[in-house]
Structure 1
Amino acid sequence: MTQTQTRTETESSTTTRLLQRQILPLDRDTDVFPLYVDLEEAKLDADRYDIGGNKAAKDLNNAAIRQSTSQGRKLHPDQIASRTQLRLEPSQVLSFGTYFNAFPASYWRRHTVVSDVSLTVDLTGPGTTVTVYKSMARGHAQRVDSGTVEGASGSFTFELSLKPFVDGGWYWYDVVAGDEGGSVDSAEWTAQVPADRAENGTADICITTMNRPDFCAKLLTQIGEDAELAPYLDTVMVMEQGKQLVSESEFFAQAQEALGDRLRVIVQGNLGGSGGYARGQLESIRKGTATYALMMDDDVVCEPEGIIRAVTFGDLAKRPTIVGGHMFNIYNRSQLHSFGEIVQPWRFWWQTRLDGYSQWDFGARNLRSSRWLHKRADVDFNGWFMCLIPRIVLEDVGLSLPLFLKWDDSEFGLRAKQAGYPTVSFPGAAVWHVPWTDKNDGVDWQSYFHHRNRIIAALIHSPYERGGRMVRESFNHQIKHLASLQYSTAELRHLAMEDVLAGPYALHGELATKLPEINAFRKQFTDAQLHEDRDELPPVRRKKPPKKGKSDIEIPGRLSTLIAAGLAPIRQLRPLRPMSREFPEAELAAMDSAWFNLVKYDSAVVSMNDGSSVALYRRDPEKYRDLLKRTVEIHRRFHREWPELAKQYRDALGDITSPEAWEKTFEPWTSKPQEHA
């Protein structure tokens, strides 16, 4: 046998690899049951092409799509026999066409070397039947095959092709119990893969934490105690950046015992999320023993099986691929934040893909009833609350930008995409996280980083000569904050733009100092001074009551909104109404504090989104004039200098994201012993 023949046989040989297995909730939490097992019927919504282009018809259809189709059918927790086994009542009908148990065929078809899969389902109970279905990108289901238990138990294997899934679609199976009941003992999706991909890769899990010791310790324990996950782990690194240390949590000993010598706690200053993740990325590269580095937030509950699936998908991808997980609401655990995100190039803003929906509740409308979930969601990036990055990608395109927080993950996704490395937001890999809607990050200290980092990302990646709508939208938002009496936010956004003009090489040096500067600066503004006790502020009083006693709080129509937007800046120049300095004119709940309500008042008490505090907003015509003048000037400058500034940031990108640049930033904490396990 010649050497060429030996090599050819090796290349053509294959081995069986497990892609996905049936799983059930670890904690038997009934809130998450719809993500694993579905007892509801499938009621597919209307095809948008049947609806047509009429705006009223589309609006009506969108409202209908959001309506719940659930009949309230519940699975009893006692039916969960194990992590993989589910018992069925006599004649019970249920579907595994769910987020965690359906097979996302189109993603495997598009991004991996897998062309065919085998589904093996083990059943117990005479007369129990399994039926396999597939869907196409437009959501309609097709019956594929079935099998029925003739004796006490049976094992059924179905050979399934991925060829029809070029645009979208899933495989799944439904089960109907026999007259005596039954059980689904296990189900596995396997494939024949090249022999050189038989072994699974491993991941360094990189968790950045700050002052969440208990949450972080519990997450570490969850990761460490999952026996199935262990072969996929290399090192679990915790970048400790707070004063309340994870190592001092009462739950840390259990985490340490579960992970053993795979756990590393790395202590450094508060360099934000990007500084924490970059440290994990750097350590992973320098160590060089893991195939991937997995970014994960400290305040999440994870589904450990999702990590296994992400690694498996990455192992079998056609090219090095970033594999991201989805984020579910930790307070409403069947609600998905977004199924896939893009950066809209003209506005340069992140958003759910244009034909998708955010805040989707699988408990109200299941996967089989939601047509839009069957089209494959192609994305630009995945949030770093859970995101698996191949080490080879980090070595090629560099580490995180030194942005402290916000836009580091989305910029990295765009950078990797430009270099030929796609990102896949992979169904079946997920964490539960505090939703963005419960935070005040659009108006608090984070507004500085939101604005600065968005501009920097646009300078690097916008395909338009002057950033598309970026500068104009920045100006519009600045006017909105001014008219809404949010002077601290307007000042921080202005400071952000000034710092962008300082150039890319200032970013590393500001990582450890910018947040304290921002917090000290904000203290002078009443709208940034938060009061946990409402009674610390004066009561509401106004000289002139509302007209005819009507509420001032309303949602205006389109014409009213345009009129309000045009008049709001002018109104800010009028003299202050009597009593508005001593007493707030209104008290607004967070949900009612939109700009079109705030612009009506000279002062108002406004509650924060997280429900923990309130702030006093006061109109200041002099401050408004000064900020308006500076706003006009700096936006004119950005429009004028954008091409030159973009070149400056693009030329520096390789330097400021390099391991060498980050090593210098970490030097204060690496030059002396700062690590403990």
Structure 2
Amino acid sequence: MNIDFRLANVLLDEGDHSASNPDLYWHRTQVPLRSAEGTCALGATSMGVRYDFATYFNALSTIKWRRYTVVDNVWLHLRAKGDFTLTLVGITENQPFIRVDVGANTDFSLALEDVDELGEPGRTRLLTRSFSSDVLSDVDVEFPSIADDLVAFELVCGSEVQIAEAYYYTKVDESLVRPVELAVATTTFRKEDYILPNVELLRHQVGECDEPIADHFTLHVIDNGRTLDAEGLTGGCVRVHPNPNVGGSGGFARGMIEAMEQTPRATHVVLLDDDVEMSAESFKRTYNLLSLVKDAYRSAFVSGAMLSLEQQNLFHEDIGQVTGDGFYAPAKRAHRLDSLKGVVGVETENLPFAEKRERYAGWWFCCVPVENIERHGLPLPLFVRGDDTEYAARCHAKIMTMNGISVWHMTFGSKFRASVDRYQVLRNSLIGQATTGVYADHDFAKVVRVLFGYDLKTFYYEGCELTIRAVRDFLRGPEYLKRVDGAALMKENSQKNEKLVRIEDMDPSILEDVEVSREELGDIQRRNLAERAFDYLTLNGHRLPDPLLTDEIGVIPFTGYYPNYIRNRTRLLVVSADLHEGVYREMDRSRSEALEREFESVLAELRREHDRVYAEWAASAAELTSVAFWKDYLRRMAAPEA
């Protein structure tokens, strides 16, 4: 028997997000949308005001629904009143997209002005009808074709039009609808400003909504900081679990265990960061997608896109990759989502090298089928960073993405901390490779050398020390990882993080004759072969006599590699992306020489002990990813003075 199955809601009023970024929801002429007694009013001060819903949140990605699911027809439902003309449209990619080369020294915190222009998508009017009603009435129209990449609709108002409800749906045989029990596991550590609004949003807009997901949704809040009112917050679809501070990997492992042990047992677990802003619709679309998924995608992950919290119309990542030279990067280019070109680009961009490089879904929003957990185990106890990349690689995960399944999250270029990006990332990459066999073709020792050299040449000696420690702790083997207090280690390592200060608060003598230009800092750093050889052989002047160096201060961004701005300098001003903060560094030859010797020593040990250490890690894989290990580990970490 055929039933009507909702695919995606049309979002008319999303509070601050739609007010500040309306082009993510609709394009209009003249008059804005406004709420009116549970409806949204499309105002028209004159005939012919047009609203276009071919946007990131309100177009339907038929290319994805056809690829992933059994959907073969799409309808639009409106509950509306007023006089209007409805046009259904199909949208296709017109021009191929050019991939941006992501090299070892690329800064991935792209600004909007860095995003290349794309060709205009093709747009076809599929059907046009006029409607008029003085009372709220149901309008249901089938799209004549869903062969385009996306479909959407336009309304031209002949009067004020009120819309009480709008959504896309399909007619499908009831037997093809899969049972889904969706659990969300969010790990938090003293971020009440984010987590409390998110809990209430999910409680009311998902757990208490009038859609099927409401009866099949559980939110597990893993409170690593033990600062939430667990008893007061628990209720309805929400369950709060006080937890020792075992980082993201420990919190998500606990969430996976709770999801598998809840009643009814979860079929899928969404792993969700605590420091995000989001729409309830992301979870509804995920549930609907999973309900209709084809057998070929039954065990696939769903990866929610990271939209920039700093620039909320900028797409940053929905699938990541480990590049050929061992660095982590978005697999797609950046896109502006306030234009149709960007929306189509995100949905249609192909990944031609996907079979050659490891792909992953970040745990800011990643839905994992429980059958994968049963088959491949729980995360490694890595505390933070690398747990999500290793896990997707271990599961050989297919990854599904969809417009509107997303969160707003601070992009990583704004969050650089050496304790994380030099110690945790490097150590955990080596551990993942050795333990579960992921990234088999990647040479992380080369990555270690590149980053150490970059920090040395930019006088970030504390970063060099953390890189050395990352390799030394990997060499200590799995017994060390089982015992170490990850929170205490992070606290200790964080002492080596640089403390940026506001530019106006810095010593005036440092800033004298220094010019900080956003345009100049955005220049591409091209070098010829002689310049590359010179930079390598001299370590940016560390090996040159003083007369060949200059005390003129070089200015570089906090992330990325800018060799032309540091060459032969003995002093550097390192500035944040917004140019409001910075840190001052000076060359220290004796410290550099000592670090070089120590670094070469630890790399020699890594080469010498490689086979033995890798064998020890591999032998521990089954234990470190088991439910029994994690329950014991969480118990030990929760013990007094653990």
- Give the TM-score normalised by the residue count of structure 1: 0.77
Q: Which amino acid aligns with 2:248?
A: G
2:553 is equivalent to residue 586 of structure 1: yes
Contact 2:186 2:274 in 1 (8 A): yes
Q: Which amino acid aligns with 1:617?
A: R
- C-alpha displacement at 1:607, in angstroms? 4.2
Q: Which amino acid aligns with 2:42?
A: R
**Which residue of the partner structure matches residue 407 of structure 1?**
386
User: Partners of 1:274 and 1:646 in 2: how far apart?
Assistant: 21
- C-alpha displacement at 1:237, in angstroms? 2.3
User: Partners of 1:451 and 1:174 in 2: how far apart?
Assistant: 50
**Which residue of the partner structure matches residue 304 of structure 1?**
280
**Deviation string for 1:79-137 (max 9, x for gaps)?**
x4477745152312222111111111122222223333333345543352322324258
Find 1:190's aligned residue among 166, 169, 179. 169
**Which residue of the partner structure matches residue 202 of structure 1?**
181
2:216 is equivalent to residue 216 of structure 1: no
Contact 2:71 2:292 in 1 (8 A): yes
2:235 is equivalent to residue 260 of structure 1: yes
- C-alpha displacement at 1:322, in angstroms? 1.8
User: Partners of 1:205 and 1:516 in 2: how far apart?
Assistant: 28
- C-alpha displacement at 1:428, in angstroms? 1.4
**Matched residue of 1:348: which SS?**
coil
User: Partners of 1:654 and 1:667 in 2: how far apart?
Assistant: 19
Q: Which amino acid aligns with 1:177?
A: C
Q: Which amino acid aligns with 2:527?
A: R
- C-alpha displacement at 1:332, in angstroms? 2.2
**Deviation string for 1:553-588 (max 9, x for gaps)?**
8764332862553354162134668999xxx96384
**Which residue of the partner structure matches residue 675 of structure 1?**
none
Contiguous gaps of at least 5 residues in structure 1: 1-12, 40-72, 673-677
Q: Cα 1:288–1:646, aligned 2, differ >3 Å: closer, same or farther?
A: farther
Q: Cα 1:170–1:561, aligned 2, differ >3 Å: closer, same or farther?
A: farther
User: Partners of 1:658 and 1:594 in 2: how far apart?
Assistant: 40
User: Partners of 2:520 and 2:57 in 1: how far apart?
Assistant: 46
User: Partners of 1:427 and 1:561 in 2: how far apart?
Assistant: 44
**Which residue of the partner structure matches residue 64 of structure 1?**
none
Contact 1:87 1:183 in 2 (8 A): yes
**Which residue of the partner structure matches residue 271 of structure 2?**
295
Q: Which amino acid aligns with 1:171?
A: V
User: Partners of 1:464 and 1:436 in 2: how far apart?
Assistant: 22
User: Partners of 1:630 and 1:82 in 2: how far apart?
Assistant: 69
**Deviation string for 1:405-429 (max 9, x for gaps)?**
1111121111222xxx522122211
Contact 1:132 1:146 in 2 (8 A): no
**Which residue of the partner structure matches residue 5 of structure 1?**
none
Contact 1:125 1:182 in 2 (8 A): yes
**Matched residue of 2:127: which SS?**
strand
Percent pairwise identity: 20
Q: Cα 1:293–1:208, aligned 2, differ >3 Å: closer, same or farther?
A: same
**Matched residue of 2:218: which SS?**
strand
Q: Cα 1:669–1:569, aligned 2, differ >3 Å: closer, same or farther?
A: closer
**Which residue of the partner structure matches residue 472 of structure 1?**
446
Contact 2:549 2:568 in 1 (8 A): no
Contiguous gaps of at least 5 residues in structure 2: 96-120
1:541-580 map, 5 Å? 556-559=525-528, 562=532, 565-569=535-539, 571-574=541-544
Q: Which amino acid aligns with 1:18?
A: R
**Which residue of the partner structure matches residue 235 of structure 1?**
218
- C-alpha displacement at 1:659, in angstroms? 0.9
Q: Which amino acid aligns with 2:404?
A: G
User: Partners of 1:395 and 1:350 in 2: how far apart?
Assistant: 27
Contact 1:485 1:599 in 2 (8 A): no
Contact 1:137 1:376 in 2 (8 A): no
2:626 is equivalent to residue 658 of structure 1: yes
1:189-588 map, 5 Å? 189-196=168-175, 198=177, 201-226=180-205, 227-228=208-209, 231=214, 234-242=217-225, 245-247=227-229, 256=233, 260-287=235-262, 289=264, 290-318=266-294, 319-344=298-323, 346-353=324-331, 356-358=332-334, 360-363=335-338, 365-367=339-341, 370-371=344-345, 373-375=347-349, 380-417=359-396, 421-441=397-417, 443-459=418-434, 467-510=441-484, 511-519=486-494, 522=496, 528=498, 539-540=509-510, 556-559=525-528, 562=532, 565-569=535-539, 571-574=541-544, 586=553, 588=555
Find 1:157's aligned residue among 123, 138, 141. 141
Contact 1:206 1:239 in 2 (8 A): yes
Q: Cα 1:462–1:174, aligned 2, differ >3 Å: closer, same or farther?
A: farther
User: Partners of 2:398 and 2:506 in 1: how far apart?
Assistant: 52
- C-alpha displacement at 1:535, in angstroms? 5.3
Contact 1:96 1:172 in 2 (8 A): yes
1:593-672 map, 5 Å? 594-596=561-563, 597-608=565-576, 614-638=582-606, 646=614, 648-668=616-636
Find 2:130's aligned residue among 131, 136, 148. 148
Contact 1:18 1:188 in 2 (8 A): yes
- Give the TM-score normalised by the residue count of structure 2: 0.80
Contact 2:285 2:405 in 1 (8 A): yes
- C-alpha displacement at 1:505, in angstroms? 4.3
- C-alpha displacement at 1:274, in angstroms? 1.0
**Deviation string for 1:574-611 (max 9, x for gaps)?**
4668999xxx9638464698452345432345345587
Contact 2:347 2:402 in 1 (8 A): no
User: Partners of 1:316 and 1:137 in 2: how far apart?
Assistant: 29
User: Partners of 1:235 and 1:150 in 2: how far apart?
Assistant: 42
User: Partners of 1:456 and 1:74 in 2: how far apart?
Assistant: 57
**Which residue of the partner structure matches residue 92 of structure 1?**
49
Contact 2:57 2:404 in 1 (8 A): yes
**Matched residue of 2:328: which SS?**
strand
Contact 1:34 1:366 in 2 (8 A): no
Contact 1:170 1:374 in 2 (8 A): no
- C-alpha displacement at 1:338, in angstroms? 2.0
Contact 2:337 2:343 in 1 (8 A): no
User: Partners of 1:606 and 1:405 in 2: how far apart?
Assistant: 26
User: Partners of 2:426 and 2:447 in 1: how far apart?
Assistant: 11
Contact 2:31 2:43 in 1 (8 A): no
Contact 2:558 2:574 in 1 (8 A): no
User: Partners of 1:349 and 1:593 in 2: how far apart?
Assistant: 13
Q: Cα 1:576–1:136, aligned 2, differ >3 Å: closer, same or farther?
A: closer
Comparing 499-508 and 657-666, the one that deviates more: 499-508
Q: Cα 1:202–1:464, aligned 2, differ >3 Å: closer, same or farther?
A: closer
- C-alpha displacement at 1:624, in angstroms? 1.4
- C-alpha displacement at 1:200, in angstroms? 5.7
Contact 1:131 1:145 in 2 (8 A): yes
- C-alpha displacement at 1:385, in angstroms? 1.2
Find 1:37's aligned residue among 18, 23, 26. 26
- C-alpha displacement at 1:392, in angstroms? 2.3
User: Partners of 2:239 and 2:278 in 1: how far apart?
Assistant: 19
**Which residue of the partner structure matches residue 118 of structure 2?**
none
**Matched residue of 2:248: which SS?**
helix
Contact 1:568 1:599 in 2 (8 A): no
Contact 1:131 1:175 in 2 (8 A): no
Contact 2:413 2:559 in 1 (8 A): no
Contact 1:145 1:158 in 2 (8 A): no
**Which residue of the partner structure matches residue 116 of structure 1?**
73
**Matched residue of 1:540: which SS?**
helix
Q: Which amino acid aligns with 1:347?
A: D
Contact 2:307 2:316 in 1 (8 A): yes
Find 1:135's aligned residue among 81, 88, 92. 92
